[in-house]
Amino acid sequence: MVAIAAGCGASYGGPAPLSDFPKPSLTVSHQGAGNSDSFSATLDFDDIDWCDVLESDAFARLNGRSVPLFRGEVRVIPPQGDDGGVECRHPSVTLDQVPSDLSAPWTFEIGDSSRSLSATFAAAPIGPVVLSNPVLTNAALTLALQRQAGDTTVINGQATLSASDGQSTVSSAEAGQDGILFPTFTALFPPGPVTAAVVLNYFSADQLLDCQAPRCTLAMGSGVSGVPTTSTFTVQLVTPAD
């Protein structure tokens, strides 16, 4: 869809071949969780003096499949006791649900008969980690974790500590490469075993694999969330008196 305010929109911009767009670039975003993926992409360009919109032969594809394309819009805001203004909405694609048979790596392409731009990206696979060797003191719960070399998955965790007298405390932390440390305060816990229930959440950020455009950008938060895992341990509280 292209919308230009009648009468005066043409003085601010209008349909043009992609080859005429000043400093075009692509910004893509993908959020995945389980079997559900959403996707969006924007054709960015310098619109300070003029707002181009794509012509009727423009297309957009994801992994080679045609997807609905918003070709851009120039919206003139009439004066209302001021000088008015112009809103330039750039061409874009938004998919609330990516077809399940289109899987990563993702290649997004936008273009027309004059030119095309594309960006290819994907997130690294997420593999659940194994927690071990819990150590609990008045200051922290520390656990070792095993992950494959080069794994860049962001792992955030929440630990719920429950003492034998019913007291409990909750702490959150982000894992490092070899372990995770939950700051906590358990000085009021009685001597004896403490139950530690640890829930881990996983996120793998997308990475650009190829860019056939002057510039490609991945929006913040683009990536895949893994399935949370829960581990439960019984650990003795280690105090200075021990």
Q: What are the tens digits of pLDDT across the range 149-163?
A: 788 899 999 999 999
Confidence of residue 35 (pLDDT cuts 50, 70, 90): low
- Give the start-to-end residue ranges of the domains of the chain: 2-123, 130-205+226-238
pTM for this entry:
0.80
The dotted CATH code for 2-123 is: 2.60.40
The structure tokens listed for 197 are: 């229930």
In CATH terms, is domain 130-205+226-238 a member of 3.30.1490.20? no
- Characterise 99 by phi-psi region: left (phi > 0), alpha (psi -120 to 50), beta (else): beta
Distance CA 33, CA 42 (A): 22
Distance CA 64, CA 44 (A): 21
**pLDDT digits over 43-94, tens only?**
999 988 788 999 999 999 999 999 999 999 988 777 666 665 678 999 999 9
pLDDT confidence band for 213 (50 / 70 / 90): very high
